[in-house]
Amino acid sequence: MDIYIDVEKCTGCQLCVKACPYGAIEMAGDTASITGACTLCGACVSVCPVQAIIRELPAVEDIDNSDYRGVWVVAEVSDGQLAGVSLELLGKGRELADTLQAPLSAVLVGDDVAGLVVGAAESGADQVYLAEDPALAQYRTGPYTDVLSGLINQHKPEIVLLGATEQGRDLAPRVAARVKTGLTADCTGLEIDEQERLLIQTRPAFGGNIMARIITRNHRPQMATVRPRVMRRLEPVPGREAAVVKVPVAFDEKSILTRIVEIARDEGAEAVNLQDADIIVAGGRGLKKPENFGVIYELAEALGGVVGASRPTVDEGWIPPYHQVGQTGRTVQPKLYIACGISGAVQHLAGMSGADCVVAVNSDPNAAIFDIAHYGIVGDLFEIVPALTEIARQELAQD
């Protein structure tokens, strides 16, 4: 990839100078000039009003992947902490990097986030790229894309992983398009083909009826997003250290197209933290009507758990969407998952089969949920669930 300025077209407006987060454009007389500090991030290309900045891409047959090395995890910061999904990706990234005999790096972007380097190191990173600037305090697509694209073009990792969160789903496709590579979203499995040094990215396709194995053969890096709670994090190693590479970025706020005016939080959604719950009691269409979710809430409360739901109950408006478990809902990994009146469709299982213990209550002895349940109770949920609630309350009263 190459980037240069067509001096015949350049009007000397200097918009690109302000837009370059790496300070790599200077004025040479009346026209702009790109210096050796250029990371090929591409931020200047779209701001030029006369299309004087040209980005040339190599033909597929000229692409040389051999100088791409290492596994990167783009760490996400949530309420001043490393997001759980980033720690999970560092766990998986460690395994991939060890197989490839390559380093594992975390990319930490934000403002005043250096304190999180320790957590990334203890969770498996050998190296942390640290990009700090006041303009990066809150996630915004433009500046984050500029930072990450520049880093990728400069340091050439062979694999880049992001969480399939709101942020990751917004950022990953932008960056993939900018650095001209492929992206596999919502992977449920990642492994290495050691012979070809390829990342095999597994994800459900065709409504979850098949598991597709996807490779990015010609382009680098190989990029994937993974939902929270799909991979398992490593036990942190206290005192483990990582090399820190400071990324020299400086943004001109005036050249960023978006401003964060307000952050509105959905308190209901935050209160129902399915992804971190140890106990989930989930209701399905077997409940027959919305008010019957009451029996599910009572059992969840008695056990100190939270309420999950199958998709039809959400689609029918019986319960808000943030309760949904499954392929198009949340992926969960509780210690205990009690599925009540849920048939066990593959799209539901995609979100909860990682639970340590599954208890299923269903009146149909042939329901698919029993195939994966550790304990199955065949019968009417309206008799069984209240009985379980009663037992839970009695047990707790004795404690």
Contacts with ligand SF4 by CB under 6 A lie at 3, 19-20, 22, 24-25, 34, 38-44, 150
Give yes or no for residue 351 binding ligand FAD (CB under 6 A): yes
Check binding of 342 to ligand FAD (CB under 6 A).
yes
Q: Within 13 Å of residue 75, how many CA atoms lie on the same side as its CB?
A: 30
Nearest to 29 by CA among 12, 5, 44, 41: 12
Under a CB-based contact definition with an 8 Å cutoff, are residues 40 and 71 in contact? no
Least distance to ligand FAD, CB of residue 292, Å: 9
Residue 262, token pair as written in the block: 């307000």
d(Cα 269, Cα 36) in Å, to the nearest integer? 47
Selection from ligand SF4, ligand FAD, none that 70 binds (CB < 5 to 8 A by kind) is none
The residue number with the shortest CB distance to ligand FAD is: 326
Asked if 381 is part of the footprint of ligand FAD (rule: CB under 6 A), the reply reads: yes
Long-range contacts of 139-142 (CB under 8 A, 24+ apart): 139/167, 139/170, 139/171, 140/256, 140/258, 140/260, 141/170, 141/171, 141/174, 141/258, 142/43, 142/256, 142/257, 142/258
- Kindly write out the interface string for residues 191-230 of this chain, putting x where it contacts ligand FAD by CB under 6 A and - elsewhere: ----------------x-----------------------
Binding of ligand FAD by 389 (CB under 6 A): no
By a kind-dependent CB cut-off of 5 to 8 A, residue 39 interacts, out of ligand SF4, ligand FAD, none, with ligand SF4
**Contact (Cβ atoms closer than 8 angstroms) between residue 73 and residue 30:** no
Binding mask 233-262 for ligand FAD (x = CB under 6 A): ------------------------------
Which is it for strands 198-205 and 210-214: parallel, antiparallel or unpaired?
antiparallel
Question: Considering CB distances under 5 to 8 angstroms, the limit depending on partner class, which of ligand FAD, ligand SF4, none binds residue 150?
Answer: ligand SF4
The answer to whether residue 367 forms part of the interface with ligand FAD (CB under 6 A) is: yes
The site for ligand FAD (CB under 6 A) is made up of 207, 284-286, 310-312, 324, 326-329, 341-343, 345, 347-348, 351, 361-364, 367, 380-382
